[in-house]
Structures are given as C-alpha cells and as structure tokens.
Amino acid sequence: MREDLMKAAVLTGPRQIEIKQIPVTPVGPGMMEIKVSACGVCGSDVHMWTAGRGWGKQENCGFVMGHEFCGVVTNPGDSSFKPGDRVTFWANLYCGKCDQCMAGREHLCREVNGTNYIGFVCNGAYAERFVGKASNAYLLPDSVSDVAAGLIDPLMVAYHAIHRSKIRLHDKVLVVGSGIIGQMLGELARKAGASCVAMSSISEVKTRKAREIGIFDEYFDGSDPGIAERLKAASQGGFDIAFEAAGAASALNTCVNAVCPGGKVVMIGNSITPEVSFAMNRAVLQEVSLLGSVSCSRVEFEETIDLIAKGMIHPEKYVTDILPLEELQHAFERQIDPRDPMLKTVIKP
C-alpha cells in the first residue's frame, strides 16, 4: 500500500521551518482525521520555534506545531462525528481521571503541567491534515468562521482570566501588555461591566493597533518612568483589577503599584525567566491579591466557542495577517520583530 502523504510545516531546528511531505498518522481507536482549514499562530509557538523543538519526545522526521485550529472531518474513525462536520480541537491533553479533572479544572490536570498540549508534545495542525483524539474535538456552529476558530485559544485564556478576576460592575480595569490576549481582555472586561479599561504597553505599534480597534479608554506608555503616578492619577486612586499580560517583572510591578488598596492582580503572562522580583511590601501592606491564570476549563472552552457563535465578540478584527503554510517561517520572523505591526496571524494550509 502506498503511504498517505501530506504537506506540513516541519520544525527542523532552531528558527527553522521547512515545508515537507510527511506521512499522515493512521487513524487508530478513539482518533479522527480532519482536513485543516485554519490554524492560529501563538506566542508559545514562537518559543518552540526559537528552541527548535517541542516539549515531547520528538520523532526523527521533525515536529509539527499548531494548536489553535479547526477543520473538516475527513475520517471520523469510531467517533460520532460525520465526514464533512466542521470541528475545532481543544489542545489540552487532560487525563480526565485526576482530582483536578474530576473537579472540572482540566486546565490544572496533574498530567498537563502547562505543556501537555496538541502541537507541544505531539504533532499539531500546521499541515494539510491533522489526526487526534476525537474526545478533544468540538462541533463548530456555522456562525463561527474558520478564521474566528483560529482565535478561540487566546480568547479562552482571556475569558478564564476574566472569571478569575471576579470583576464586578463599574470596576476600573488596567491591562498591562498589548498582545492578542491583552487586547481581548480589554474587550471582555468592558463586556463584563468595567467602567473604564486602560492599556499600558511598551509596544508603540501594538498600541496603535489597539487604538484602531478602539476598545480601551486610555493608553499609557509602559516605558515612561512616571508611569506609576500617571496610572494613579488616571484611575483616581488605583484600579480595582490589573491584568498582567506581558510576562515581565516590570509589567508585574506596574500592576502591583497601579491597583487600589485591596485590589487584584491577575497574572496571565508567561515569564521567560522562572523567577522575577516584585514589590512584595506593596502587595502585603495594601493587601493586593495576586492570582495566577492559565488556559481555561473544558466548560469554559465550550463557552468560548459560544461567545463567538452568539456574536458577543468578533475576534476577526484582531487578525492582521492570513497566510499560507509556506509563509509560516516568515510569520515567526516577523513575530519576534518588535517593529512589526503583526498582532495575530492565521495560517490557512
């Protein structure tokens, strides 16, 4: 029998993507195959691209990233899906058996540890086809476009962080960071009842994009040495909630200093260094709550699809580039260029 081949963007070394023909994984028990329609480019892909490897035991032919995707079922295997169904996959490879999974916190699954995702430990969807666990697939309503489905991943992260913050009507909200999650946080905070949403960012091009989209009330230059005073004045005594969406010590300190006494800081950004220094006494003496937030639960993943399906958010407006698979290498090169206005790229294989 001739081997079934497909075009894929293979990570073959540090900062090196090659377009290759690779074998399609056979559909085993509990698995299904889709033809990939769209796949979002994520910041965590950039980390793996830079390192030249994923988080799992990689096969010899290289590794295929891509965890924010949707497609059309070509082989449903033994699942209840039908050929032609439009589906998206939740990338989280949770065990479904541990205490966290049993409590509905699949994102904190003992087996996941922040890396056990599709496109991290096993091949993802920067390819013509994807074969994966059918139990991770969800039907896409017609009102969710392929491009919008490529943005479910950052949206679910923002959605979960909003839940973590327990935001209340009229709260004043600061977002530090201007990547895709930071931008979406502003929109969701506004929808959840914030009386004002401000953005602090060190990226001029991304702030410009945020101004264009027009969600935030105010924009601050995070590299301004007088940022703390400016934020305090603008919020008349401090923000109720600050979201750290940059993953940097300076951004965390901006948040800790910008909230009001008793305020909350929700940390979403992943720091490159495992430890950072921060204004501990400020957090202690002002009773600032520090909350970590990662990914989302399985229920929240389904609700995120529904947010888009019901028209509560139109994520397409955050997409700056829609590119073919052949452009993936270039997209990563642009992603690490701080002058590039790229906010979110969706690949259409």
Question: Is residue 103 at the binding interface for Zn ion, with CB under 5 A as the rule?
Answer: no
Q: How far is the CB of 47 from Zn ion (least distance, A)?
A: 11
| Cα angle 275, 278, 279; round to 5 | 160
| DSSP, res 127 | B
Q: How far is the CB of 43 from Zn ion (least distance, A)?
A: 7
Q: 95 or 139: whose CB is closer to Zn ion?
A: 95
Instruction: Answer whether 347's CB lies under 8 Å from 126's CB.
Output: yes
Instruction: Answer whether 250's CB lies under 8 Å from 222's CB.
Output: yes
Question: Is residue 121 at the binding interface for Zn ion, with CB under 5 A as the rule?
Answer: no
Question: Is residue 189 at the binding interface for Zn ion, with CB under 5 A as the rule?
Answer: no
Indicate the Cα dihedral angle 321, 327, 329, 332, nearest 10°.
0
Length of the chain as a residue count? 349
Q: Which of 9, 42, 147, 174 binds Zn ion (CB under 5 A)?
A: 42
Q: 5 in helix, strand or coil?
A: strand
Q: How far is the CB of 125 from Zn ion (least distance, A)?
A: 12
Question: Is residue 108 at the binding interface for Zn ion, with CB under 5 A as the rule?
Answer: no
Q: How far is the CB of 126 from Zn ion (least distance, A)?
A: 13
> For the chain, where are the alpha helices, taking DSSP H only?
43-51, 99-102, 146-149, 152-165, 180-191, 204-213, 227-234, 249-258, 280-285, 298-309, 328-335
Question: Is residue 98 at the binding interface for Zn ion, with CB under 5 A as the rule?
Answer: yes
Q: 95 or 233: whose CB is closer to Zn ion?
A: 95
Q: How far is the CB of 170 from Zn ion (least distance, A)?
A: 32
CA gap 289, 214 in Å, rounded: 29
Question: Is residue 109 at the binding interface for Zn ion, with CB under 5 A as the rule?
Answer: yes
CA gap 69, 152 in Å, rounded: 9
**Nearest-10 crossing angle of helices 328-335, 43-51:** 100
Question: Is residue 95 at the binding interface for Zn ion, with CB under 5 A as the rule?
Answer: yes
Q: 42 or 167: whose CB is closer to Zn ion?
A: 42
Question: Is residue 39 at the binding interface for Zn ion, with CB under 5 A as the rule?
Answer: no
Q: Which stretch binds Zn ion (CB under 5 A): 30-38, 104-112, 293-301, 323-331?
A: 104-112
Question: Is residue 41 at the binding interface for Zn ion, with CB under 5 A as the rule?
Answer: no
Question: Is residue 162 at the binding interface for Zn ion, with CB under 5 A as the rule?
Answer: no
Q: 125 or 227: whose CB is closer to Zn ion?
A: 125
Q: How far is the CB of 80 from Zn ion (least distance, A)?
A: 23
Q: 220 or 318: whose CB is closer to Zn ion?
A: 318
Question: Is residue 161 at the binding interface for Zn ion, with CB under 5 A as the rule?
Answer: no
Instruction: Answer whether 346's CB lies under 8 Å from 39's CB.
Output: yes
**Nearest-10 crossing angle of helices 152-165, 180-191:** 50
Amino acid at 101: C
Q: Which helix (H) or strand (E) holds 240?
A: strand 239-244
* Residues that contact Zn ion, how many (by CB under 5 A): 7
Q: Which residues contact 103 (CB under 8 A, 6 or more apart)?
A: none
Question: Is residue 296 at the binding interface for Zn ion, with CB under 5 A as the rule?
Answer: no
Q: Which of 55, 48, 57, 56 is nearest to 11 (CA)?
A: 48
Q: 80 or 113: whose CB is closer to Zn ion?
A: 113
Q: How far is the CB of 261 from Zn ion (least distance, A)?
A: 35
Q: How far is the CB of 98 from Zn ion (least distance, A)?
A: 3
CA gap 159, 143 in Å, rounded: 19
**Nearest-10 crossing angle of helices 227-234, 249-258:** 40
Q: Which of 17, 64, 101, 260 binds Zn ion (CB under 5 A)?
A: 101
Q: How far is the CB of 137 from Zn ion (least distance, A)?
A: 17
| Residues contributing to the site for Zn ion (CB under 5 A) | 42, 94-95, 98, 101, 109, 153
